[in-house]
A and B are shown apart, each in its own frame.
Chain A
Amino acid sequence: MAGTRIGLAARLLFFWVVANFSALALAHVTPNSEGQLDLYDDRVELEVIIPAAEYSFASEHPAANDAQSLKLAETYLSNQIGLISPSGNRWTTEIYEARFVSDAGPIDLRGRIVLRPPAGEGARSFDLVWNAVVREVPDHFALVMLRSDWGGKIGSQSEVLGSVRNGNTVVKVRQGRSSEWTRFANAVRLGADHILQGLDHLAFLLALVLTAPLLFQEGKWQSRKDLGPSIRSVAILISGFTVGHSATLIAASLWGWSLPSGPVEVVISLSILVAALHALKPIFPQREAFAATAFGLVHGLGFAGFLSSTDAELSRNIVTLLGFNLGIELMQLAIASVVVSALVILASTRFYSWVRVGLALVCAFLALFWTFDRLVGLPINLVEATDAAIEALSQYLLVTAFIVILFGIYSRTNLKWFGRFQWFSRFGLSRRPS
């Protein structure tokens, strides 16, 4: 047993060093590549993201945004990534927007590749061949995802199609026939998404409906209307706006009217300013429906511009065009019904004038901000920060609107109960004497 005592202290002390050392160099975290496919009738677009370090290592090209480096990157992408038809024919490749960018992480090479099938072949069945980086870096893989397929998949939630890595560099894509119904549903979704993300359109609508529950008397906004007339006013306003933007959207899309997007966007932001000023002090009282229709014509040009920039085919197809417009209307109605209900309830309180003035000022500020940005171009950081703030604010406003509606319903159904508490009824939530 004597031997066991030899170096016992040393073992007790140092065993853990080995234990520690054994824990080294395992589970190393490495970035991988990604490919997002968008399928159209006549082509496939592939957005690629490759970690810049791996790209440089594999290609031995610099990862920089000067013209020569970008040219090298484009050549690398077109040589290493391509599509082949089931018949074995190679598709044509065009690279767009190859850039080295850092999006909250390491620098990536991002590029958009437009791939077109040979004449007479469809764009829904192909083999994606991806050799970029995976051949040179053993543990590297590229995840291949289908992001959108207008005729085959509703929405733009990416679905994993497969992955490529060293030894397996092909992903087979067989999407089958496309469907008109799916195409229509995607267009509806696109329209609804565009309204949700198009904060300028929402700001215009908000500014416009702020005065809907109010009566114009003696040159200013006075006492409120009853519920029925308020809703009628809102319905007329939204219908006017819808008629206006639908007319220009359909006309511009089908007959190819085009105005430069810059001036159109500026007029859209100015329309918000006018509507906000009108909510502060009447400018065109009792002619709101006319104004909504007139400004709707300009907003329609904006929608048409967006649609054609997304995909020209969509704007030329009457089914998708109607779907897009329907999506806009549905989302508009959904938001308006919540906001207007809340406004009508708030209009029965004493502090509605504060709400109206506050929201009108916010809309006016945003209108000025967007006008300046669209005219002279404000710093991107400022624009991004403002957009984020507006998005957060709009979410809060929507939640507040829901709370107001619930509160309003509750207070009306439980008036007797509330009536016991004078302070509560004084707070402004009593039923308005008829």
Chain B
Amino acid sequence: MLPPLVNMQDGCVSARTRFAALRWQNGPRSVWRGPALVLAALLIVAAGEYLLNREDEPARVQFALAAPDFGPADYQAHSETLKDRLELDRERVARAPGEWLPRASLASALLADFRVTGRVESLEIARREYSLVQSLAPEPAGAPLALADFALATHDIAAAKSALVVFSRSAVPPTPIERSEAFAMHSDIAFYKADLAAAHQRLAQAEGLAAGSGIHIRQALLLRSTGEFDGALTRLAHASTSTSRTPLTLASIALQAGVIESSRGNYAKARNWYETAERLFPGYWLTRLHLAEARLVAGEDVQAIAELESIVEQSPRPEAMDMLALIYRVKGQRAKSLEWSRRASAIWRQRVAEFPNAYGAHAAEHELVFGDPNRALALAIQNRRARPYGEARILLANTLIANGQPEIALDELIAAEASGWRSATLYAAKAQASDLLGHTDNAETYREQAISLNPEIFAARTRMVWLAHG
């Protein structure tokens, strides 16, 4: 018989009475109650864990890479266009050799040529032309903004600052676009000086005057350097919808997106981006280098070697030679590795002699891995002195480690981190220096931090990432 649901004395149903009824219905010794309770506890724990650990899905980033607005369709066509522009500018200079304006135009064309083709001869001639512009044009006339641009291209921060000071004294009020560019260059200088807050601030000022893809891309670089990969990708997506959507710009955006994915160990996604870049602007040697790297990471050595050798055949690029030397080292083929590293070494040394600031870091990395650690250290010190930003400090730290100075290396890395720099390679180097100093517990923490930024940082295939590790 069911117990009464209503308490006859006070006329209401008590919770205890209801519970008693329920207990009666289920049977006093229900075998399911225990397991059900355990299951409920497990579900509560699982739900709690899910709620605590769930990460907000990053907003889907929409890139607009299809249908470029204008511009040469591929690397070949772009090279032809640059060639035409150079010929035209040379002709103008020949007609008026004593005027600075045609020379500034020619220098600018040469710099553009260097940036796309990587031809150091163009850079050398551009330097000569800018030098002539400076001697021909009375200050503050001339092309201070172009000069600052050239100085930054050659990583001459002091010269860039001086040129921007001259620009600020311009007699003719600059246009908003020019002022925006000047702010962007101030941001680049702040970035290289490891003042990331100032770099962001200057970019915001630049954006306020004239937002363009260049600004968004700089913002992406800044965010990548602080480990904010999703934010960097969002900025690149903005860049892809911005002004000047040429095939080269869009391909370069895709390339940069690939570098960001590579920095956090998403090598398959990085490869997709590199393939997109190749589709958008076929034949670009920089894309081909990244594609070769993606193939190496995927274990496609034969194809990667063929691609790199083809790049070197077209132009003796030391980056490709270094990559070949690395592949053969990893394959244990000493003779071939040495052959490529020696060829690269000769080119790097020559370039450092011509443009020590521009090529010091590359040469230091080359010397560190393939050449002389002492020379690598000297180059890395010089590079860090000129540009004390995170990447230069990490490079210096690695050369210090190779020269048996892990304590100073750790100081450099701590300074890089204090500046806001965040990358898996930073923490990997911190772990290495700490190991050498016997601080094994700290090293373990740093390894975990490196892995949190790039879960693949210590994987075997990551050592094949020569270009895009950030």
Contacts and interface: CB of A to CB of B under 8 A. Distances in A.
Q: How large is the interface on A (under 10, 10 to 19, 20 to 34, 35 or more residues)?
A: 35 or more
B403 to A, nearest CB: 8
B259 A27 contact: no
Nearest to A2: B101
Interface string A148-179: 00000000001110010111100000000000
A20 B371 contact: no
A17 B149 contact: no
Given A29-B462, A160-B440, A1 B174 contact: yes
A28 B370 CA distance: 12
Contact of B105 (A3, A54, A107): A3
A14 interface: yes
Nearest to B423: A27
B230 interface: no
Contact of A3 (B19, B142, B152): B142
Interface string B429-447: 1001001111010000000
A56 B188 CA distance: 43
A141 B255 contact: no
Contacts of A32: 432
A19 B111 CA distance: 14
A417 B395 CA distance: 66
A141 B402 contact: yes
B362 A24 contact: yes
Contacts of B218: 15-16, 19
- The SS class assigned to the B binding surface is helix
In the complex, which of the residues A19, A107, A165 has the most CB atoms of chain B within 10 Å of its own CB atom? A19
Interface string B416-428: 0000000101101
Nearest to B154: A18
Interface string B166-184: 0100111011011001001
In the complex, which of the residues A20, A52, A54 has the most CB atoms of chain B within 10 Å of its own CB atom? A20
Nearest to A14: B115
Interface in A353-405: none
B394 interface: yes
B361 A160 contact: no
B329 interface: yes
Interface in A73-107: 105-107
A12 B153 contact: no
Contact of A159 (B111, B394, B429, B438): B438
B146 A11 contact: yes
B332 interface: yes
Contacts of A167: 373, 403-404
Contacts of B152: 15, 18
Contacts of B276: none
Contacts of A5: 175, 178
Contacts of B233: none
A23 interface: yes
B329 A53 contact: yes
Interface stretch (B56-64, B209-217, B267-275, B300-308): B209-217
Contact of A139 (B109, B184, B402): B402
Contact of B214 (A13, A27, A55, A63): A13
Q: How large is the interface on B (under 10, 10 to 19, 20 to 34, 35 or more residues)?
A: 35 or more
B395 A26 contact: yes
A282 interface: no
Interface string B389-405: 00100110010011110
A20 B115 CA distance: 11
B246 interface: yes
Contacts of B37: 427
A255 interface: no
A13 B373 contact: no
Contacts of B137: 3
Given A3-B101, A13-B214, A29 B458 contact: yes
B449 interface: no
Contact of A10 (B112, B221, B395, B437): B112
Contacts of A217: none
A4 B185 CA distance: 14
A139 B459 contact: no
A60 interface: yes
A138 B376 contact: yes
Nearest to B328: A57
A119 interface: no
Nearest to B181: A12
Given A3-B146, A106-B460, A63 B100 contact: no
A8 B148 CA distance: 12
Nearest to B323: A25
Contact of B174 (A4, A29, A136): A4
A57 B438 contact: no
Nearest to B215: A12
A159 to B, nearest CB: 6
Contact of B404 (A19, A158, A165): A165
Given A6-B146, A29-B469, A106-B463, A138 B402 contact: yes
Contacts of B256: 16, 20
B436 A19 contact: no
B470 interface: yes
Contacts of B470: 23
Interface in B250-285: 252, 255-256, 259
Contact of A23 (B105, B143, B259): B259
A146 to B, nearest CB: 10
Given A25-B319, A53-B331, A53-B332, A13 B402 contact: no
A336 B400 CA distance: 52
A433 B116 CA distance: 89
A159 B16 CA distance: 64
A17 B366 CA distance: 21
B402 to A, nearest CB: 4
A7 interface: yes
Interface string B99-122: 011001100110110011010000
B297 interface: no
Contacts of A27: 365, 391, 394-395, 398, 423, 425-426, 428-429, 469
Contacts of B65: none
A13 B210 CA distance: 13
A173 to B, nearest CB: 14
A53 B328 CA distance: 9
A9 B104 CA distance: 15
B252 A16 contact: yes
A54 B398 CA distance: 18
A139 B394 CA distance: 14
Contacts of A55: 332
A62 interface: yes
A277 B91 CA distance: 100
A13 B259 contact: no
6 contacts: A27-B394, A52-B332, A60-B332, A106-B460, A160-B437, A167-B403
Given A26-B469, A29-B458, 4 more contacts: A16-B256, A18-B153, A28-B365, A351-B34
Interface of B: 16, 19, 23, 33-34, 37, 100-101, 104-105, 108-109, 111-112, 115-116, 118, 133, 137, 141-146, 149, 152-153, 155, 167, 170-172, 174-175, 177-178, 181, 184, 188, 212-214, 217-218, 221, 244, 246, 248-249, 252, 255-256, 259, 286, 319, 322, 329-334, 337, 361-362, 365-373, 376, 391, 394-395, 398, 401-404, 423, 425-426, 428-429, 432, 435-438, 440, 457-460, 462-463, 465-470
Query: Which are the 4 A-B pairs with shortest beta-carbon distances?
Result: A56-B332, A3-B143, A3-B104, A106-B460
